[in-house]
Chain A
Amino acid sequence: DAGVIQSPRHEVTEMGQEVTLRCKPISGHNSLFWYRQTMMRGLELLIYFNNNVPIDDSGMPEDRFSAKMPNASFSTLKIQPSEPRDSAVYFCASSRGGGGAYEQYFGPGTRLTVT
């Protein structure tokens, strides 16, 4: 299995630009999570999808952030407009189930720098 795939691996953009991060979960996994990691705040859950449906988006910082999962093999996280404080590493993770004893498998992350 190829694992969770994320693209791009690095993104540098200017403030005000739109940024789209992409994720392909592991085949057969029905749960998908988007996280953000910073030195100051650690690992934060942004949004959780189950069977392609957003279940909890309470971690999305503000309306500038949006996420979609049009099918079981693809998800996007969009930031529009981007701001310097959005600079972080964004991870996508998938699991066989949302809860219980299921572990999450993480992608390599997208390092976003907003100047």
Chain B
Amino acid sequence: AQSVAQPEDQVNVAEGNPLTVKCTYSVSGNPYLFWYVQYPNRGLQFLLKYITGDNLVKGSYGFEAEFNKSQTSFHLKKPSALVSDSALYFCAVRDEGSNYQLIWGAGTKLIIKP
């Protein structure tokens, strides 16, 4: 069965420090992986995706994510956190063979403290 796990409900980081939001997945075939961000009272915004190729994917707002096939992970990273990065982050996966179904993680609340 396909699944996504975001093992941390909340991540706290000091402003200026690097941040990592973790995501692991399980699919039967090759994965398409996505990260979204949700600010309070807003819809989800697409940040970046992994399809194939380079394991390090760069996205919006200085975020990047590293695909690790052996660990079935797709962790979201940023070298230097901003207070404005505080939001809810969702990881999602689609099996290459799936027609449309996106499997969503439960979300990780990221809090950046000044």
Binding site for B on A (CB under 8 A): 4, 31, 42-43, 45, 48, 50, 55-56, 91, 93, 98-101, 103-109, 111
Contact = CB atoms under 8 A, between A and B. Distances in A.
29 contacts: A43-B44, A43-B90, A43-B104, A43-B107, A45-B101, A45-B102, A48-B100, A56-B100, A56-B101, A91-B43, A93-B43, A93-B44, A98-B100, A99-B94, A99-B100, A99-B101, A100-B32, A100-B94, A100-B96, A103-B34, A103-B49, A104-B46, A104-B102, A106-B43, A106-B45, A108-B42, A109-B42, A109-B43, A111-B41
Given A42-B106, A42-B107, A43-B90, A99 B42 contact: no
Contacts of B51: 101
A77 B107 CA distance: 25
The secondary structure that dominates the A interface is strand
Given A42-B107, A103-B49, A31 B100 contact: yes
Nearest to B100: A98
Contacts of A107: 43
B99 A99 contact: yes
B43 A4 contact: yes
A108 B98 contact: no
B72 to A, nearest CB: 18
Interface residues of B, number: 22
Contacts, number: 49
B68 to A, nearest CB: 19
Interface of B: 32, 34, 36, 41-46, 49, 51, 90, 94, 96, 98-102, 104, 106-107
Given A43-B90, A99-B101, A103-B46, 13 more contacts: A42-B104, A43-B44, A50-B100, A91-B43, A93-B44, A98-B100, A99-B94, A99-B99, A101-B32, A104-B102, A106-B36, A108-B43, A109-B42
A30 to B, nearest CB: 11
Contacts of B49: 101, 103
Contacts of B45: 106
